Amino acid sequence: MLQNQDNILLKIEPHGKEQTVTIYLVGKSKPLREIVSLIPLVAEVSSSPVLITGPSGSGKEIIAKAIHYDFRNPRRNNAFHHLNCAAIPGELVESELFGYERGAFTGANYKKAGLLESVREGTLFLDEIGDMLPYTQAKLLAALQKGGHFKRLGSSNGDPIHFKGRVIAATNHDLDELVSKGRFNEALYHRLNALRMEVPALKERTEDIEPLILHYLHLGCEEQERVVPVIDGGVIDLLKSHRVFVSVWSAA
């Protein structure tokens, strides 16, 4: 089986010091094609927040990077910062976002700018935002509102800092349900939901499985200078029938 270049729906080459890898979106399903067609439109409206929803492994981070590095995005030459809100304790998410002054808490031995500040006019990708603590959600909302600002933790007399970047948030949670249960800030939800992209799980678009497998196979063989093996069609059919198949996306 040969790699079909038509299945590479989007390819963004390395660009400057920020983007050092090639970004691929690979597949042939209608849902994926619809997502790819939205990326340029979302990239152009660079002042609006974006909310990307979908199960874990569905490619939300790759889509966020594709939006940021799209040539139509006026922010593409600025930083792309990533924070996974579920990967670190909730209390640390606050200090990572807002930064802190020396002595703000035990262990704060130096001043540090947070991601909202250091991203400048770039893109801040907040992955798994549904896991963010309510208190931090409220502070984030204040920073994202028009004319909003924030201060580093432990700052009492310092000048307020204005957020100049763009937020792209992602979650595998149903935020509507979390809002109804009082576990997610409703105003923040509406603020982030200005532009929304929903990414279905790979098990719901099984026609993308074969192109993805062939894509990774060709990349791996090319990197190791090996001959690309032929995959039996029965193997592909078996994978398509495996309903708990997890999505794999490429940024290689």
Strand pairing class (8-12; 23-26): antiparallel
As a whole number of Å, the CA-based R_g of the chain is: 20
Interval 6-41: pLDDT, tens: 677 888 876 766 666 788 888 999 999 999 999 999
Residue 169: strand pairing partners: 51, 126
| pLDDT, averaged across the chain | 88
**Is the whole model's pTM more than 0.95, yes or no?**
no
Structure tokens at 84: 């996974």
For residue 45, what pLDDT is reported? Answer: 95
Encoding tokens for residue 191? 């603020």
Which range of 33-37, 151-155, 203-207 scores highest in mean pLDDT? It is 33-37
Contact present, 122 and 165 (Cβ < 8 Å): yes
Task: List alpha helices for 114-208, DSSP H.
Answer: 115-118, 134-144, 175-180, 186-192
Domains of the chain (ranges, CATH numbers): 45-201 (3.40.50.300)
Distance CA 63, CA 66 (A): 5
Question: Could you report the per-residue pLDDT of 105-122, keeping only the tens digit for each?
Answer: 888 888 899 999 999 999
Mean pLDDT of 63-81: 94
Do 126 and 163 contact (CB within 8 A), yes or no?
no
For the stretch 210-238, pLDDT in tens is: 888 888 888 888 888 888 888 887 877 77
